[in-house]
């Protein structure tokens, strides 16, 4: 194993988890900034060419672990690994953001669902080769159908 070190922090308008849109149909179009520490800035070379990025980050304000979670998008419980719950054995978040522009070591992005000051562990270009018709959305698709 290794000891993770943050490469930067998220600058977001959200100060409290209650402010982040949740549940079925929640839209994540909020703009924020991924502020990368100056020592890691060389690692941003050529990132401008990518429209979307995966951001790996730490749920630094989540407490505890719940292996069975009841997400805001359903009234039924599901295993934590079938959800995006913050209360997981390794509190790591994954968010896809749209890269709007780069300003030195600051990446201006759309689609943040993280609190202000959230530590960033890694950034990777978003590339998906899975065709839309091959994707199955599990309990989420069922929950959406029940809600209709």
Ligand X SMILES: C[S@@+](CC[C@H](N)C(=O)[O-])C[C@H]1O[C@@H](n2cnc3c(N)ncnc32)[C@H](O)[C@@H]1O
The reply to whether 114 sits near ligand X by the rule CB under 6 A is: yes
Strands (E), the chain: 8-11, 31-36, 52-58, 68-69, 78-79, 92-103, 106-110, 119-125
Backbone φ, ψ for residue 65 (5° rounding)? -130, 135
Options 9, 11, 36, 95; binder of ligand X; rule CB under 6 A: 95
Rounded CA separation 110/114 (Å)? 12
* 144, 30 Cβ separation under 8 angstroms: no
118-137 residues near ligand X, rule: CB under 6 A:
118
The reply to whether 60 sits near ligand X by the rule CB under 6 A is: yes
Distance of CA 84 to the CA centre of its chain: 9
* 16, 115 Cβ separation under 8 angstroms: yes
CB of 92 to ligand X, least distance (A): 7
Options 59, 74, 111, 143; binder of ligand X; rule CB under 6 A: 59
Options 11, 34, 99, 113; binder of ligand X; rule CB under 6 A: 113
Residue nearest to ligand X (CB): 17
* 15, 115 Cβ separation under 8 angstroms: yes
CB of 70 to ligand X, least distance (A): 12
Options 8, 32, 86, 111; binder of ligand X; rule CB under 6 A: 86
Rounded CA separation 103/112 (Å)? 17
**Between 3 and 42, how does the x/- string for binding to ligand X read (CB under 6 A)?**
--------------x--x-x--------------------
Instruction: Tell me which residues touch ligand X (CB under 6 A).
Output: 17, 20, 22, 59-62, 84, 86, 93-95, 113-115, 118
């Amino acid at each position: 194993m290794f000891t993770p070190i943050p490469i930067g922090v998220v600058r977001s308008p959200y100060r409290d988890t209650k402010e982040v849109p949740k549940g079925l149909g929640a839209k994540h179009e909020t703009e924020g900034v991924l502020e990368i520490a100056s020592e890691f800035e060389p690692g941003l070379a050529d990132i401008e060419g990518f429209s979307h990025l995966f951001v790996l980050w730490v749920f630094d304000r989540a407490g505890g672990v719940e292996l069975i979670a009841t997400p805001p998008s359903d009234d039924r419980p599901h295993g934590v690994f079938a959800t995006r719950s913050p209360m997981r054995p390794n509190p790591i978040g994954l968010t896809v953001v749209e890269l709007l522009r780069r300003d030195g070591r600051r990446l201006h992005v759309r689609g943040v669902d993280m609190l202000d000051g959230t530590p960033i562990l890694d950034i990777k270009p978003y590339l998906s080769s899975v065709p839309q018709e091959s994707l199955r959305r599990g309990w989420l698709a069922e929950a959406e159908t029940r809600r209709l």
